[in-house]
């Protein structure tokens, strides 16, 4: 006879198995720009410390076209976007995780009109997001598509969500429940929208506040930031940092919950979250006298309405146009600013823990695994730091070619995209 106690025990075992499988799925996959949790932190425990183009390389695959999108990983597949040098063909590229061999190349768009972009941007910069069965590819104003990871076929495509990026697209899409959330913020229009991820139909669309954007010069209205989802007292918030204002939205409806107003030009770096506190770079401010600057803010996200004067815990001046997104781990913030200064900051106070002037440019965002932080420069050199409040450079590793894409970490490997190839780097 099956007793209630046995049923409870079986349910407990089943729950434990499901939790274990969920944890393994998180560890094995890397589903968005800066990882499955949008924080660039991996749980992998045996990631490589040292490599070169001939050591600790499991495979290398040369890529057609160009793109700065990061690789995303699900199951046995790695996906990226790519575009021809002239932007007239935009594609999704799928490689086998184990061999690096091509599985699919799906042509998504062949736009008739090609718009200008910044010299350091590409026509395939936004990183895809991926889940079981589907990958979502975004090319900014040119279009967005859902592709089957089983067949490589396009499930749905939208080309009517447009804006004038001026310097090309940069914001990556994110998945939230049944929604695919996009930012399209140009010099003409600035809005967020959520699409039904199964059909591509618009669920909600929210414009940035016109009263805050109308005073700005057109070139200052654009933004390239990717949002994050946070939970505050049981309620999910979409934290979205635009040129003039950082706003927390209800991700189900697009309704504004709170705002912090500051800035007059582009935002690029993502917001961060740790221990219930949000951190983000503002766009720049022009003082009556002196040099333009931005600020890194620490914010208590529990609020309503305009919380600019009430919820900012600390602020730190910074150079304008912060490109890479900092990494926060165990109360420390690690970043390289636009003057090539490596900084470690105390997340509670904003005070400098250490700093070091570097001789290279870093556009790729840092990633973390197993007590190590990986910073990769534009010249393809990866500086590996030991996490902690003392600067310890454990290794410096060089690959040929330039790097603008942020690495992915999965299967105890680093998937690093250069301007020519994708490498899977792991200890042999």
**pLDDT score for 289:** 86
**pLDDT score for 21:** 40
Six-digit token string for 201: 């139909």
pTM of the entire structure?
0.92
**pLDDT score for 3:** 52
**pLDDT score for 180:** 98
Instruction: Report how far apart, in Å, the C-alpha atoms of 365 and of each of 38, 240, 425 are.
Output: 12, 18, 17
Q: What is the pLDDT along the chain (428 residues), one digit of tens a residue?
A: 455 444 444 444 344 434 434 444 445 899 999 999 999 999 999 999 999 999 999 999 999 999 999 999 999 999 999 999 999 999 999 999 999 999 999 999 999 999 999 999 999 999 999 999 999 999 999 999 999 999 999 999 999 999 999 999 999 999 999 999 999 999 999 999 999 999 999 999 999 999 999 999 999 999 999 999 999 999 999 999 999 999 999 999 999 999 999 999 999 999 999 999 999 999 999 998 889 999 999 999 999 999 999 999 999 999 998 999 999 999 999 999 999 999 999 999 999 999 999 999 999 999 999 999 999 999 999 999 999 999 999 999 999 999 999 999 999 999 999 999 999 999 98
Specify the pairing of strand 294-299 against strand 312-318. antiparallel
**pLDDT score for 22:** 40
**pLDDT score for 375:** 98
Question: CA-CA distance, 314 to 402, in Å (whole number)?
Answer: 36
Question: CA-CA distance, 10 to 115, in Å (whole number)?
Answer: 59
The answer to whether 352 and 329 are in contact (CB under 8 A) is: no
**pLDDT score for 321:** 87
Give the class (CATH, top level) of 47-63+330-361+365-402+405-428: mainly beta
Which sign does the torsion angle of CA 369, 28, 420, 127 carry? negative
Nearest Cα neighbor of 73 from 130, 125, 127 is: 130
As a dihedral over the C-alpha atoms of residue 186, residue 189, residue 191, residue 193, rounded to 10 degrees, the angle is: -100
Q: How many CA atoms lie within 13 A of 102 on its CB side?
A: 10
**pLDDT score for 199:** 98
**pLDDT score for 428:** 80
């Amino acid at each position: 006879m099956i007793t209630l106690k046995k049923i409870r025990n079986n349910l407990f075992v089943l729950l434990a198995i499901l939790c274990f499988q969920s944890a393994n799925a998180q560890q094995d996959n890397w589903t968005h720009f800066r990882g499955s949790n949008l924080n660039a932190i991996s749980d992998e425990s045996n990631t490589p410390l040292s490599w070169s183009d001939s050591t600790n390389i499991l495979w290398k695959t040369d890529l057609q076209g160009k793109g700065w999108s990061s690789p995303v990983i699900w199951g046995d597949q790695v996906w990226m976007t790519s575009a021809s040098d002239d932007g007239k063909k935009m594609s999704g590229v799928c490689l086998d995780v184990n061999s690096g061999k091509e599985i699919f190349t799906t042509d998504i768009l062949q736009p008739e009109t090609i718009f200008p972009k910044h010299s350091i941007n590409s026509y395939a910069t936004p990183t895809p997001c991926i889940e079981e069965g589907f990958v979502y590819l975004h090319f900014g104003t040119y279009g967005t598509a859902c592709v089957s990871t089983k067949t490589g076929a396009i499930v749905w495509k939208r080309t009517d969500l447009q804006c004038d990026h001026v310097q090309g697209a940069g914001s990556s899409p994110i998945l939230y429940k049944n929604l695919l959330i996009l930012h399209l913020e140009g010099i003409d229009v600035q809005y967020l929208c959520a699409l039904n991820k199964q059909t591509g139909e618009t669920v909600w669309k929210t414009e940035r506040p016109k009263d805050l954007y109308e005073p700005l010069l057109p070139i200052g209205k654009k933004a390239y930031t990717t949002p994050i989802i946070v939970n505050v007292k049981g309620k999910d918030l979409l934290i979205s940092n635009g040129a003039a204002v950082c706003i927390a939205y209800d991700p189900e409806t697009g309704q504004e919950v709170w705002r912090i107003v500051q800035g007059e030009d582009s935002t690029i770096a993502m917001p961060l979250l740790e221990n219930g506190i949000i951190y983000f770079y503002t766009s720049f401010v022009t003082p009556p006298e002196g040099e333009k600057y931005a600020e890194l803010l620490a914010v208590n996200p529990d609020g309503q309405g305009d919380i600019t004067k009430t919820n900012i815990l600390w602020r730190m001046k910074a150079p304008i146009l912060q490109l890479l997104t900092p990494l926060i781990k165990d109360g420390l913030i690690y970043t390289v600013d636009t003057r090539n200064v490596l900084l470690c900051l105390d997340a509670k106070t904003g005070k400098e823990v250490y700093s070091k002037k570097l001789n290279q440019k870093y556009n790729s965002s840092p990633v973390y695994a197993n007590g190590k932080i990986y910073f990769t420069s534009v010249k393809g050199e990866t500086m590996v730091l030991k996490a902690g409040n003392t600067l310890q450079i454990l290794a410096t590793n060089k690959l040929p070619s330039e790097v603008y894409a942020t690495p992915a970490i999965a299967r105890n490997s680093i998937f690093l995209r250069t301007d020519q190839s994708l490498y899977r780097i792991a200890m042999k």
